[in-house]
Amino acid sequence: MVDLNAQYEKIGPEIDSAIKSILLSTAFIKGPDVKLFEEELQEYMGVKNVISCANGTDALQLAMRVLNLKPGDEVITTNFTFIATVEVVALLGLKLVIVDPEPGTYNISVAAVRKAITSRTRLIVPVHLFGQCADMESLMEIAKKHDIYVIEDAAQATGADYLFNNGTTKKAGTIGHIGTTSFFPSKNLGCYGDGGALYTNDDDLAKKLRSIANHGMKIRYHYDDIGINSRLDTIQAAILRVKLKYLSEFNKARIKVADKYDKAFSPCELICVPERVSYSSHIFHQYTIRVKSGKRDYLKKFLESRKIPSMVYYPGPIHMQKAYSYLGFNENDFPVTTSLCKEVLSLPMHPDMEQEQIDYIISNILEFFK
């Protein structure tokens, strides 16, 4: 699905020397590269504050904790996402309110959010799934009207641009009150282990986030908040500084692959290619098709037999997982999520795909449908 070896072949010498410099400096925790990476990412994202942390799940947890939400406060998010988005809500004792996504973009349905708002709603968490932004302008309008927070889970969309009605753009993750991301190795901007970050234009929130990510400490050994230990390792920051320089180029290469997939599969009746919206670029963390007429699992097996990997993100709806049975839902309560879980298939997607590989994948998929 992702070829990190091919990428390493390209940028290996730079990565090696970045790692070596940290080994020699021994500044493994909170070394200078962490701050430098935060500053460079701030500039790239066009946001006032980047706060690095240990992973994208912690970033979500820190973001929800800093907003002083109370147990039982309602948090609206999508039912079609990686589990981290919802697990943090549940862990913090907040009331999880899941809603269906849009069938074409897979992103949270604004109409469903509107319906789910109550007087107890305190937060909306849109996820920019697979690399394309949710309808942030509408969501921010709803949030403003009801005086509620928005945390963008931008783990899969580092580098995507959101286009506002007035023609201005912002990077995914920098529109809501707080944005979060993950540097999991397979992400568009991935490190060589775990890593994550938060974005915010609010300096007070940024200060508090920095403190709670580091044991609640602003001054050494003085604790203003009950915190956690969630720091980005200096080695990972040094790797990310190298990879950030290539992010735009890598994202463009992904879009080229997606264009070729789109062109090949659009005429095919039983395949729905991912919908692209006018208000967001798509940086294709995943290229995810929908396979109609119950043929998804047959296609997956056929591709396996041709040594072509494919993945189902996500196979089981969250509302049917054992851990979330306490929510008390039935399968049919979320028809869009349920049908997506049966139809979606993600194809190999990374910046180093060769034409020959793309052709092989396309011709095998078209052969299956013939």
Ligand X SMILES: Cc1ncc(COP(=O)(O)O)c(C=O)c1O
Which parts of this chain interact with ligand X (CB under 6 A)?
55-57, 81-82, 84-85, 127, 153, 155-156, 182, 184, 194, 196
The closest of 68, 266, 143, 147 to 275, measured between CA atoms, is: 266
Indicate the DSSP class of residue 226: -
Q: Give residue number: closest CB to ligand X.
A: 56
- Least CB distance from residue 235 to ligand X, whole Å? 16
Closer to ligand X by Cβ: residue 108 or 264: 108
User: Residue holding tokens 């006032």?
Assistant: 48
Residue number with CB closer to ligand X (178 or 271):
178
CB nearer to ligand X: give 64 or 84: 84
In angstroms, give the least distance from the CB of 285 to ligand X.
Answer: 8
Read off φ and ψ for residue 124, nearest 5 degrees: -120, 135
E strands, the chain, in order: 49-53, 74-78, 95-99, 121-125, 149-153, 161-163, 169-171, 178-182, 196-200, 217-219, 222-223, 271-272, 287-291, 344-347
User: SS3 for 149?
Assistant: strand
Query: Mapping DSSP to helix (H, G, I), strand (E, B) and coil, where does residue 180 land?
Result: strand
Nearer to ligand X, 7 or 156 (CB): 156
- How many CA atoms within 13 Å lie on the side-chain side of 322? 0
User: Cβ 88 to ligand X, closest distance in Å?
Assistant: 9
Task: With beta carbons less than 8 A apart as the criterion, state whether 53 and 232 touch.
Answer: yes
Nearest-approach distance from CB 58 to ligand X, in angstroms: 7
User: Shortest approach of ligand X to residue 34 CB, angstroms?
Assistant: 16
Q: Which is nearer to ligand X, 156 or 310 (CB)?
A: 156
Unique residue bearing structure tokens 């990510």: 213
Q: Minimum CB separation from ligand X for residue 55, in Å?
A: 4
Q: Which is nearer to ligand X, 194 or 352 (CB)?
A: 194
